[in-house]
Amino acid sequence: MTAKPLKNRKDSPSVSYHRVSDEEAGQRLDNFLLRVMKGVPKTRIYRAIRRGEVRVDGGRAAASRKLGAGEAVRLPPLRRPETEALRSPDAARKAILGRIIFEDERLLAINKPSGMAAHGGSGVSFGAIELMRQARPDLAYLELVHRLDRETSGCLLFAKRRSALRSMHERLRENAVEKCYLALLAGRLDTGERRVDAALVTNLRRGGERMVGVDPDNGKRSVSTFRSVQAYPAATLAEVRIETGRTHQIRVHAAHIGHPVVGDEKYGNRALNRDFRRLGLKRMFLHAQSLSFERPGGGETLCISAPLQSQLRELLDRLEAADSGGLR
């Protein structure tokens, strides 16, 4: 069933109605509105819900209301900001198309660059999801399957169908998605694997800054496994596999075992970060290398890989060539 706008009724000519499709069914009303009313500030959308300007089958509805297939959603004439600052530049839209590393009828994946947010908010007008929606207006449905920190590069997965999103979220809950990262860690990590099972708690404050920390009593269980790939004089390239997906999990676990991620300004070693900046590292060295999972709608295993970006490859080449006195 394809969703089509309904003909306007007795409302103002600028009011429109949207029939909920099978793919859209099950979404919360607020998430649905944030998607179909792109560019409207989130605060304005929630105010419209509270005031009853948004209606479902003629009645008021809470933001948490789950929509059903065939229901008619009244969309009020909410004004979008007209400033150029809220429009993604053409160059950025074109660039994100060049970052697509996988696409089929259900899923799409990009190699997200460091510095790009997964989604807008908190002072960021446009993230990867907003850019991709603008770059691919042919896609009637597009949602993030998961998130990456703004500073982390690599595999970022989108769902092109509601059914695919539900299927992937189920796999994530069941720990049926293998997530592999590459991280450059401070110091020499022991050979072999090191499993870190340390509960994490969010919303800690340090100097007014939001932090994540290890808290065995109040935190949520978090598990990461580190494996040394290549040792350098002052750092170790490690492969990291995570069984859970907590905020800043790899970064906090790495710092917890005494080997923070190089370039991490929040949890890292500032002196070492300065040394690596002199070598050309202008970002955090954490890269989502691959995702492996059973393909939605089929039984085959899908593995999506994202190549390291040139800045990280070039740094590794410099480290390979450096002698033991090259870094402190």
User: pLDDT tens for residues 223-279?
Assistant: 999 999 999 989 999 999 999 989 999 999 999 999 999 999 999 999 999 999 999
Q: Provide the pLDDT for residue 86.
A: 40
Mean of pLDDT values over 274-303: 92
Q: Provide the pLDDT for residue 179.
A: 95
Mean of pLDDT values over 276-297: 93
Task: Extract the tokens encoding 266.
Answer: 């929040």
Selection from 23, 26, 30, 33 nearest residue 2 by Cα:
23
Which residue carries 């300004």 as its tokens? Answer: 265
Percent of the chain at pLDDT > 90 equals: 59
User: pLDDT tens for residues 117-170?
Assistant: 888 765 566 789 989 998 998 998 999 999 999 999 999 999 999 999 999 999
Angle in degrees, 0-180, between the axes of helices 29-36 and 42-51, rounded to the nearest 10: 130
Mean of pLDDT values over 78-107: 74
Q: Provide the pLDDT for residue 24.
A: 82
User: pLDDT tens for residues 189-218?
Assistant: 988 899 999 999 987 666 667 789 999 999
CA distances from 268 to 102, 272, 322 (A): 33, 8, 22
Instruction: Check if the beta carbon of residue 74 is closer than 8 Å to that of residue 54.
Output: yes
The size of the chain, in residues, is 328
Q: Indicate if the pLDDT at residue 11 is higher than 60.
A: no
Q: Provide the pLDDT for residue 238.
A: 97
Q: What's the rounded Cα separation, in Å, for the pair 61 and 67?
A: 10
Confidence band of 187 (pLDDT split at 50, 70, 90)? very high
Q: What's the rounded Cα separation, in Å, for the pair 87 and 144?
A: 20
Domains of the chain from N-terminus onward: 5-75 (3.10.290.10), 84-166 (3.30.2350.10), 175-321 (3.30.2350.10)
Confidence band of 321 (pLDDT split at 50, 70, 90)? confident
Task: Extract the tokens encoding 272.
Answer: 């070492």
Percent of the chain at pLDDT > 70 equals: 87
Q: Indicate if the pLDDT at residue 10 is higher than 50.
A: no
Could you tell me which residue, 231 or 3, shows the higher pLDDT?
231
Which 3-state string (H, E, C) describes 141-153? Answer: CCEECCCCCCCCE
Query: What stretch of H or E contains 214?
Result: strand 209-214
| Count of CB atoms situated within 10 Å of the CB of 108 | 21
Task: Extract the tokens encoding 170.
Answer: 């189920």
Q: Has 317 been annotated as catalytic?
A: no
Active-site choice (22, 149, 215, 264): 149
Instruction: Check if the beta carbon of residue 139 is closer than 8 Å to that of residue 131.
Output: no
Confidence band of 85 (pLDDT split at 50, 70, 90)? very low
Q: Provide the pLDDT for residue 208.
A: 60
Angle in degrees, 0-180, between the axes of helices 128-135 and 90-97, rounded to the nearest 10: 90
The C-alpha torsion from 162 through 111 and 240 to 295, rounded to 10°, is 40
Q: Provide the pLDDT for residue 22.
A: 80
